[in-house]
Chain A
Amino acid sequence: MTEALKPSAEILYQEEIEHLKAWDQANKHRIPNSWELSPQAVVTLIIGGEVNGQNISRKYYGADREVQVAVATLTTDRALLLYGPPGTGKSTLSELLAAGISGNSQLIVQGTAGISEEKVLYEWDYAHRLSKGTDVEALVKTPIFRAMEDGKIARVEELTRIPSDVQDALITILSEKMMPIPELNSVVMANQGFSIIATANDKDKGVNDLSKALSRRFNTVRLELPTDMDTEIEIVKSKVLKSAEASDIPLPKNSVDEIKRVVNIFRELRSGEAGTEKVEKPSATMSPAEAISVVNQAINMAAYFGDGSNEIEASHIANGLEGVVVKEAEDREVFRNYVDRVLKTRAKDRDLEEALRAIV
């Protein structure tokens, strides 16, 4: 039997969602029109908790207050913009919100520099138009179009990568809650439950800033890199465990130690402080998402290329680490200094230093 590589959130957490629905019913929570769950239940789905004796897992690690603001925003008719550096879980949060609220996290428009207005609003099936004339049948509906019709949440990823003129096509949708189709002399009205969750990152170069008119239609929730070490370790651990489980790979014995080590290195480079010493900062963001990929890669290497001891070796980490830290030419020197000054002096990191010396 084949399985989806990454099942969508509403399928992955189906059981928990059902449980929360029962909880809503039992407690007579007020549920906004066309929502699947009550706002409380959506928050619980995301940040976890105990409901009627069953444990709901935590799916997003970050400030719980921000999650509450996000959910409350969607109960008003405002759209939500999740803003922050790459790898802080913007897309994860957006997916979970859509899954919890609409039961469908798949209405996605991926923002790119080359996207056109047709991909955002609607397109035409020209064969149909030529053969049968311009009618409703000839419309090719975009995810946003469908979300409006069905009263669901549409997701726009990387909003700031979309050219400004195309961005502005969203203004009417967000303020008037409708989309005119002049060709048919008609409009699509958004049904109750429709909203947009957009994500944007503030580290990218060459982004198209939101116009004032558009940004006024969004409530903005800023997601930051985790401030404390334990949270970050927790984030990486939970994701790594999940993906190891999904790909059916045995978890190496020293995974947790290696996660701690990688997170620690990331934090030191990001903050420019290693213990009492100052170190230079590389240009890379070094988010938890990247830490996850470094560890995942190491686990895979240990499983397929390891010596059978079922342990992550320093060399497995070294490759991924170098790829994440060294993004520009100058980073190489920064990283080399770090390896020589910091890793070399720490007995427990000596193995990693040796593995890295061959690469950087």
Chain B
Amino acid sequence: MKFDDQVYLLGIRHHGPGCAHALNNALEEIQPDLVLLEGAVELEQGWQLMAEDGMQPPVAQLIYDPKDPSRASFYPWGEFSPEWQAMAYCHRQQVPLQMMDLPAGIEFELQAQREQLTEDAEQESHNLELDSDQATKEDDQAEAAQSSSDLQAIFESPLDRVVKAAGYSDSESWWDATVEHQQGGLETFAAIAELMTSARDAEQEKQAQAKLEEVSQPDHDRTELREAHMRKMLRAARKTHQRIAVVCGAWHVPALAANVKVKDDNALLKGLKKRKVEVAWVPYTFERFGFRSGYRAGIDSPGWYQHLYQHLPEGSDTLTINWMIKIAHLLREQGYGCSSAHVIEAVRLAQQLAKLRGLSIPSLGETMDAAKAVMTEGEPAPLKVIHRDLIVGNKLGFIPESVPQLPIEQDLMALIKRLRLKQDAKIQPLTLDLRKDSGLQRSQLLHQLNLLGIGWGQPLGNSGTGTFKEEWTLQWQPEFSLALIDASTLGNTIAAAAKAAIQKRIQQADSVTELAKLLDMIQLTDLQSAIPTALERLKSMAAVSADLQDLMQALLPLVQVSRYGSVRKVSSDGIEQILASMIIRICNGLASACVSLDQDAAYNMLKAMDLAHSAINMLEQEDFTQRWQTALIELLEHSACHPVLQGRCARILYDSDQLDAEQLSHEFRLTLSEGNEVSEAAAWLEGLLLNGAVLLLFDNKLFEMIDAWINQLAPEDFTRVLPLVRRAFATFSAMELNQLAGQIRFGNNNQKALAMTQDSELAQQALASIADVMGLQKTK
């Protein structure tokens, strides 16, 4: 909108593709000698880097406080963002560009002050459960709600009445039809300004009302502050430039046009403290445009916006057709028969729908409704992929090397340097001694990175919490820089991000096992501050979890935490109590949990039993061991229990001297007696033998019993149980198998070394057979 001879106010919708086109056209028409952009003043430093060779949107500018990296905001730009186009215009035409929004340094300071206030208030009420993370989060949300789409506020305002009079169902469709689906120009901005003015009037009534009711409105105050700053910047610019184009959120246009006294604005802005901040360029993803965190996010369909921006100039038909073809391609990849005829019909339906809904061209909703009705037989599920891959899109921006780095990247580089690690694309082995500080810290860093999805180092084997040595293989892969950027939303240092990540996972954990594993992870990553939260959740979950198997699986990692915490200098008070209650529940419930299980469930239970057994063993507490053994004996005598579990029970009890050889063979004979189903006997045997042949090797009686049992099997029974017995044997090591084979071949107790014998007659026979097999002439 032309405000006066000197100033044009161009109200945009952040990330609106139609806006971007209209803005381009308007700028060409105005030919400004200065562009003022709504963006924190600090963004001015380094904006020109956007034109750097190799820069590919989506990218973002990140403003952060280097002393307190948790204070940061992202300013994401896509190619379709009007702001990006404005910057590109300025760079192309060599027009100076100024940012005019309130400095982020002031925003950060204000945020900190607000938090301080809530903190004080909470401490006054002696509420010690203060969570500053929560405060920041709420702050972020407030910010997102306020700034993400100023338009949203308008939709909820009485403005709808205005656009309804013009024949539109709501302001969203008015906006789409008038702005986003057009390639407007300067005239578009006049319409926008008019609409916004009536919207602000309505809003003001609401504000006045709220003031009467004495409702506190921090967001409102913040907007006033920002607008005062923008007016101040505009006044300053007027003194130096003749044709100024102001590009700002549409909502602010009336405020910038308003006649406000200089004195009043200055009074508002006076005495604000400002922090020193830094700005970095980071690659961004379309997916993260959707996250409603940070500045101006909350764009649910960046992929569609990109499409709209790209194809608008080609006309609405091409736009819809191209979009439908993209959908068809994705559906075909999923195996849906989606012919060209489908595409044609879907396009027609989308166009009819748009007409019916009073739109100039089909928007996202119409195309998706049409695709659902025509292409997927009304089924919404296949369209989920479309949402992920097309509407949101998986585009990733790129920042060339010539541009400075992200804070979390800098942190990692510093850590790598300090801990003398080396980034290498080749696999490198690494052995760490956890008793030394450097070893411990390196291990913690690698674990923290793993937690953040940066699998640079892979721990080798089962290097649990119990040893001083840790084996790793290191291999740096290019996609880790992606994960790093993702992690940067969680925190600006590796440690901070890892902490946020583990907190999130603790909150999301839905089984005791998972929580126990997380506790283990907390130790490995040296994030003790997360322990209380984890224990709290564990306590409440372990108390009510109906899933006994879950409890059993969770036992081992928990015991490890409680036992080996000292190795890693971690304290874990309170865990014993949880352990005790869990073990009591397990022992009491074991028998009933093992009843009427099917094959798969029984094998899962067997694994859980083994885990629980080693956990209870490790604890070495008389009371627990006794309870556990009693429970096992009870289970052994339980007839409805799956045989594989009973076999396992016998084995565990035998191993821990609760069952002597006599009793074991008694059990064995009972089970393997002829009256029993052969497959049950085999399952019992499997339970008994699984993991370790020592029992068979050194216990002659048992060996003979099994030998005899196998010998007496009828051929068809043998075939039937063979897979089961094999499965048990498959867990033996090669050496054990060799020894066993020897025993079988030469009989029990005849493990003499094989004597070298020479028998030429026998040798001749063998030679003859070999020659026969190889097709050679028979040797006479």
B-binding residues in A (CB < 8 A):
39-40, 43, 65, 68-69, 71-73, 75-76, 78, 81, 83, 212, 215-216, 219-222
Decide: B349 and A73 in contact? CB cutoff 8 A.
yes
Among residues of A, the one whose C-beta sits closest to the C-beta of B370 is A69
Q: Which residues of A have CB within 8 Å of B157?
A: none
Given the known inter-chain contacts A69-B369, A72-B349, please indicate yes or no for A40 contacting B356, CB distance below 8 A: yes
Q: Which residues of A have CB within 8 Å of B337?
A: 212
Given the known inter-chain contacts A78-B345, A212-B337, A219-B345, please indicate yes or no for A72 contacting B352, CB distance below 8 A: yes
The 3 closest A-B pairs by CB, nearest first: A220-B378, A222-B378, A72-B352
Among residues of A, the one whose C-beta sits closest to the C-beta of B365 is A65
Q: Which residues of A have CB within 8 Å of B341?
A: 216
Q: List 10 A-B contacts (CB under 8 A).
A: A39-B355, A68-B353, A68-B357, A69-B353, A69-B370, A72-B352, A72-B353, A72-B370, A78-B349, A81-B378
Bound CA span A81–B352, Å: 17
Q: Which residues of A have CB within 8 Å of B759?
A: none
Given the known inter-chain contacts A69-B349, A73-B373, please indicate yes or no for A222 contacting B356, CB distance below 8 A: no
Nearest CB in chain B: distance from A83 CB, A: 5
Among residues of B, the one whose C-beta sits closest to the C-beta of A175 is B341
Known interface pairs A72-B349, A72-B356, A76-B345; 8 further A-B residue pairs with C-beta atoms within 8 A, sorted by A's residue number: A39-B355, A69-B349, A69-B353, A69-B370, A73-B373, A78-B348, A78-B349, A81-B377
Please report whether the interface of chain A is mostly helix, strand, loop or mixed according to DSSP: helix
Decide: B379 and A216 in contact? CB cutoff 8 A.
no
Mark interface residues in B528-569 (1 if CB within 8 Å of A CB, else 0): 000000000000000000000000000000000000000000
Cross-chain contact of A76 among B348, B357, B369, B377 (Cβ < 8 A): B348
Among residues of B, the one whose C-beta sits closest to the C-beta of A30 is B355
Decide: B378 and A83 in contact? CB cutoff 8 A.
yes
Mark interface residues in B22-58 (1 if CB within 8 Å of A CB, else 0): 0000000000000000000000000000000000000
Interface residues of B in 441-460 (CB under 8 A from A): none
Nearest CB in chain A: distance from B211 CB, A: 34
Q: Which residues of B have CB within 8 Å of A76?
A: 345, 348-349, 352
Decide: A216 and B342 in contact? CB cutoff 8 A.
yes
Q: Which residues of A have CB within 8 Å of B373?
A: 69, 73, 219-221
B: number of interface residues (CB 8 Å): 23
Residue B374, interface by CB 8 Å: yes
Q: Which residues of A have CB within 8 Å of B378?
A: 81, 83, 220-222
Nearest CB in chain A: distance from B332 CB, A: 14
Bound CA span A81–B345, Å: 15
Decide: A222 and B379 in contact? CB cutoff 8 A.
yes
Bound CA span A75–B370, Å: 13
Nearest CB in chain B: distance from A67 CB, A: 10
Q: Which residues of B have CB within 8 Å of A220?
A: 372-374, 376-378
Q: Which residues of A have CB within 8 Å of B379?
A: 222
A-binding residues in B (CB < 8 A):
337, 339, 341-342, 345, 348-349, 352-353, 355-357, 365, 369-370, 372-374, 376-380
Among residues of B, the one whose C-beta sits closest to the C-beta of A75 is B352
Among residues of B, the one whose C-beta sits closest to the C-beta of A219 is B373
Q: Which residues of B have CB within 8 Å of A212?
A: 337
Among residues of B, the one whose C-beta sits closest to the C-beta of A78 is B345
Bound CA span A76–B377, Å: 17
Nearest CB in chain A: distance from B119 CB, A: 35
Among residues of A, the one whose C-beta sits closest to the C-beta of B167 is A27
Q: Which residues of B have CB within 8 Å of A43?
A: 356
Bound CA span A40–B357, Å: 8
Among residues of A, the one whose C-beta sits closest to the C-beta of B342 is A216
Q: Which residues of B have CB within 8 Å of A222?
A: 372, 378-380
Bound CA span A43–B353, Å: 11
Bound CA span A71–B354, Å: 12
Q: Which of B342, B356, B374 has the most CB of A within 10 A?
A: B356
Nearest CB in chain A: distance from B106 CB, A: 44
Decide: B374 and A219 in contact? CB cutoff 8 A.
yes
Given the known inter-chain contacts A219-B373, A220-B377, please indicate yes or no for A68 contacting B345, CB distance below 8 A: no
Q: Which residues of B have CB within 8 Å of A69?
A: 349, 353, 369-370, 372-373
Among residues of B, the one whose C-beta sits closest to the C-beta of A27 is B167
Bound CA span A72–B345, Å: 11
Q: Which of B369, B372, B377 has the most CB of A within 10 A?
A: B377
Among residues of A, the one whose C-beta sits closest to the C-beta of B348 is A76
Q: Which residues of B have CB within 8 Å of A219?
A: 345, 349, 373-374
Nearest CB in chain B: distance from A88 CB, A: 12
Decide: A83 and B377 in contact? CB cutoff 8 A.
yes
Nearest CB in chain B: distance from A45 CB, A: 13
Among residues of A, the one whose C-beta sits closest to the C-beta of B374 is A219
Q: Which residues of A have CB within 8 Å of B349?
A: 69, 72-73, 76, 78, 219
Q: Which residues of A have CB within 8 Å of B342?
A: 216
Q: Which residues of A have CB within 8 Å of B355?
A: 39, 72
Bound CA span A75–B342, Å: 16
Q: Which of B337, B342, B352, B365 has the most CB of A within 10 A?
A: B352
Bound CA span A73–B378, Å: 13
Q: Which residues of A have CB within 8 Å of B374?
A: 78, 219-220
Nearest CB in chain A: distance from B73 CB, A: 36
Decide: B356 and A65 in contact? CB cutoff 8 A.
no
Bound CA span A75–B369, Å: 15
Q: Which residues of A have CB within 8 Å of B352?
A: 39, 72-73, 75-76
Bound CA span A65–B369, Å: 8
Bound CA span A359–B374, Å: 47
Among residues of B, the one whose C-beta sits closest to the C-beta of A70 is B373
Among residues of A, the one whose C-beta sits closest to the C-beta of B354 is A72
Q: Which residues of A have CB within 8 Å of B357?
A: 68
Bound CA span A101–B380, Å: 27
Among residues of B, the one whose C-beta sits closest to the C-beta of A210 is B377
Among residues of A, the one whose C-beta sits closest to the C-beta of B377 is A220
Q: Which residues of B have CB within 8 Å of A215?
A: 377
Q: Which residues of A have CB within 8 Å of B376?
A: 220
Among residues of B, the one whose C-beta sits closest to the C-beta of A76 is B348
Q: Which residues of A have CB within 8 Å of B353?
A: 68-69, 72
Bound CA span A76–B344, Å: 11
Bound CA span A158–B380, Å: 22
Q: Which residues of B have CB within 8 Å of A73?
A: 349, 352, 373
Q: Which residues of A have CB within 8 Å of B372?
A: 69, 220, 222
Q: Which residues of A have CB within 8 Å of B370?
A: 69, 72
Q: Which residues of B have CB within 8 Å of A71?
A: 356
Nearest CB in chain B: distance from A205 CB, A: 20
Bound CA span A228–B96, Å: 55
Nearest CB in chain A: distance from B606 CB, A: 29
Bound CA span A336–B339, Å: 51
Q: Which residues of A have CB within 8 Å of B345?
A: 76, 78, 219
Among residues of B, the one whose C-beta sits closest to the C-beta of A202 is B378
Bound CA span A212–B377, Å: 10
Bound CA span A216–B342, Å: 8
Q: Which residues of B have CB within 8 Å of A78?
A: 345, 348-349, 374
Bound CA span A83–B377, Å: 9
Q: Which residues of B have CB within 8 Å of A81?
A: 377-378
Nearest CB in chain A: distance from B125 CB, A: 30
Bound CA span A60–B373, Å: 19
Nearest CB in chain A: distance from B755 CB, A: 71
Bound CA span A315–B341, Å: 57
Bound CA span A65–B373, Å: 12
Q: Which residues of B have CB within 8 Å of A75?
A: 352, 356
Bound CA span A65–B349, Å: 13
Nearest CB in chain B: distance from A277 CB, A: 14
Bound CA span A212–B337, Å: 9
Bound CA span A280–B374, Å: 36
Q: Which residues of B have CB within 8 Å of A72?
A: 349, 352-353, 355-356, 370
Cross-chain contact of B356 among A39, A83, A221 (Cβ < 8 A): A39
Bound CA span A75–B339, Å: 21
Bound CA span A219–B365, Å: 16
Nearest CB in chain A: distance from B547 CB, A: 15
Bound CA span A220–B376, Å: 8
Bound CA span A78–B345, Å: 8
Nearest CB in chain A: distance from B339 CB, A: 8
